[in-house]
């Protein structure tokens, strides 16, 4: 889509949603998604300003670190100090920055999750919405390991939510397993998210776009969840790469937009389906220095284990957030835990600045990044070796799985 086409979508829909004098919270992604946000904001903001509304931009960080003023300006194309737009980083761990908008009952969670979970959850979100008349969402849609596809109600929970829903959504995705969630529009976690979104006290509309091959290939506008669903249907067609076989070795090259393995774990989730049973998946990320910039100590305490290991040891880890436990298990990948023996389906290795001892203490494999040249891995598919450049957004599946 060119700028004229994108602007036309905004000019057609936004004036129908926003009235003069309204206070609008515009929710946007952080920098861990490939998206031309400065371009999109440059096309949307004049339409919003023409409506005479007051604009607050809220960055849906989830538990990611806040963006600096310089990073915000580069990401959004807005000067945080001089553009007449208030810009806020979400603060998931600051109780004063949160407010409750309702509760999902244990019965609702049990029904929506297909019996995977049965507990109530307080729905807390960023307090910035307390001063707003409506919410708009501008975001890309990609396959996602916990909820099938990113976007839509996920920009509420966990995007701008408190830790309770962050915990629920991630653990529910892990219980279902990534293989049964990623790249699927309907899932237990998505049903929980959409039900939680219905508790929001404000009207919500979305501009959900699909970015692929350096271009915006679709822009869907409408009620938040319905716009997201239409965009997810497009993403399902363009963001899944099929291969004719599985591979015994796969090198997933982690892009610089993932500063740690909390975000860089996407390189595992998106590539695991095309690795043979017992095969090796190496995350090549020589720029990475930590498991997680935010949750490092907890990740080290948990280590990396398959889901069934944690299910057998929940009492031992009951004091730790299940969201981080979920991350740990989906990085380790699918596998079994029987009679005290843990058997992952594949072998995952990190080739980063994290040393061997630290990796192995956490239950993950190590490779020296200095011994790896991605060029040596390319063009070797016939030998059962695959190199995935810029891993983390395209989902890989064997043709028979598609």
> Contact, 192 vs 168, CB < 8 A?
yes
Averaged pLDDT, 208-236: 97
Check residue 174 and give its pLDDT.
93
| Confidence label for 84 from pLDDT (cuts 50, 70 and 90) | confident
CA-based angle 94:301:110, to the nearest 5? 65
Q: Do domains 3-238 and 241-401 have the same CATH topology?
A: no
User: pLDDT tens digits, residue range 264-309?
Assistant: 999 999 999 999 999 999 999 999 999 999 999 999 999 999 999 9
Quick check: 156 pLDDT over 90? yes
Helical axes 188-197 vs 224-238, angle rounded to 10°: 150
| Confidence label for 32 from pLDDT (cuts 50, 70 and 90) | confident
Q: How far is CA 184 from CA 94, 96, 98, in A?
A: 33, 36, 31
CB atoms within 10 A of CB 321: 18
From the list 313, 264, 320, the residue with the least C-alpha distance to 297 is 320
User: pLDDT tens digits, residue range 64-73?
Assistant: 889 999 999 9
Q: Where are the domains of the chain?
A: 3-238, 241-401
Rounded-to-integer distance, Cα 262 and Cα 203, Å:
32
Rounded-to-integer distance, Cα 256 and Cα 387, Å:
17
From the list 288, 279, 278, 215, the residue with the least C-alpha distance to 253 is 288
Which residues, in sequence order, are CB contacts of 314 under 8 Å at separation 6+?
A: none
Rounded-to-integer distance, Cα 325 and Cα 320, Å:
8
> Contact, 359 vs 350, CB < 8 A?
yes
Q: How far is CA 250 from CA 240, 243, 346, in A?
A: 17, 13, 11
Nearest 5°: phi and psi at 401? Answer: -90, -15
CATH of domain 3-238: 3.40.50.11440
In order, the DSSP letters of 310-334 are HHHTTTTTTTS-HHHHHHHHHHH-S
Check residue 235 and give its pLDDT.
97
Rounded-to-integer distance, Cα 39 and Cα 209, Å:
12
Check residue 63 and give its pLDDT.
87
Averaged pLDDT, 102-106: 96
The single-letter DSSP state of residue 74 is H
From the list 112, 379, 101, the residue with the least C-alpha distance to 251 is 379
| Confidence label for 261 from pLDDT (cuts 50, 70 and 90) | very high
Q: How far is CA 146 from CA 83, 143, 149, 187, 401, in A?
A: 36, 9, 8, 9, 19
149: enclosing H helix or E strand: strand 148-149
User: pLDDT tens digits, residue range 47-66?
Assistant: 999 998 999 999 999 988 89
Phi-psi region of 107 (alpha: psi -120 to 50; beta: other; left: phi over 0): alpha
Topology of the domain comprising 241-401: 2-enoyl-CoA Hydratase; Chain A, domain 1 (3.90.226)
| Confidence label for 402 from pLDDT (cuts 50, 70 and 90) | low
């Amino acid at each position: 889509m060119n700028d004229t086409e994108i602007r036309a979508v905004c000019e057609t829909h936004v004036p129908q949603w926003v009235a003069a004098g309204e206070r609008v919270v515009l929710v946007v992604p952080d920098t861990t998604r490939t998206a031309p946000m400065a371009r999109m904001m440059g096309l949307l903001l004049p339409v919003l300003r023409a409506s005479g509304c007051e604009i607050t931009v809220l960055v849906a960080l989830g538990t990611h670190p806040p963006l600096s003023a310089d990073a915000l300006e580069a990401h959004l194309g807005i000067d945080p100090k001089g553009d007449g737009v208030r810009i806020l980083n979400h603060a998931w761990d600051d109780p004063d920055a949160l407010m409750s908008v309702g509760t999902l009952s244990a019965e609702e969670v049990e029904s929506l999750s297909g019996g995977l979970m049965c507990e109530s959850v307080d729905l807390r979100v960023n307090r910035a919405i307390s001063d707003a008349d409506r919410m708009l969402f501008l975001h890309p849609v990609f396959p996602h390991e916990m909820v099938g596809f990113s976007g839509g109600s996920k920009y509420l929970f966990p995007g701008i939510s408190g830790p309770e829903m962050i915990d629920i959504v991630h653990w529910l995705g892990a219980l279902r397993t990534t293989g049964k969630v990623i790249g699927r529009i309907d899932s237990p976690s998505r049903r929980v998210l959409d039900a939680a979104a219905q508790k929001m006290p404000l009207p919500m509309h979305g501009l959900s776009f699909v970015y692929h091959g350096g271009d915006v290939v679709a822009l869907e506008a409408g009620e938040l969840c319905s716009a997201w669903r239409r965009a997810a249907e497009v993403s399902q067609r363009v963001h899944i790469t099929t291969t004719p076989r599985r591979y015994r070795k796969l090198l997933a090259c982690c892009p610089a937009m993932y500063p740690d393995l909390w975000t860089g774990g996407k390189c595992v989730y998106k590539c695991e389906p095309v690795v043979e049973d017992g095969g090796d998946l190496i995350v090549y990320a020589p720029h990475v220095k930590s498991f997680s910039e935010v949750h490092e100590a907890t990740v080290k305490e948990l280590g990396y284990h398959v889901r069934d290991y944690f299910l057998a040891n929940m009492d031992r880890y009951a004091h730790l957030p299940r969201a981080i436990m979920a991350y740990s298990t989906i990085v380790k990948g699918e596998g079994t835990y029987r009679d005290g023996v843990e058997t992952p389906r594949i072998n995952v290795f990190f080739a980063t600045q994290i040393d061997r001892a630290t990796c192995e203490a956490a239950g993950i494999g190590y490779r020296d990044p200095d011994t790896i040249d991605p060029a040596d891995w390319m063009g070797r598919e016939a030998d059962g070796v695959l190199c995935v450049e810029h891993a983390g957004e395209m989902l890989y599946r064997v043709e028979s799985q598609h």
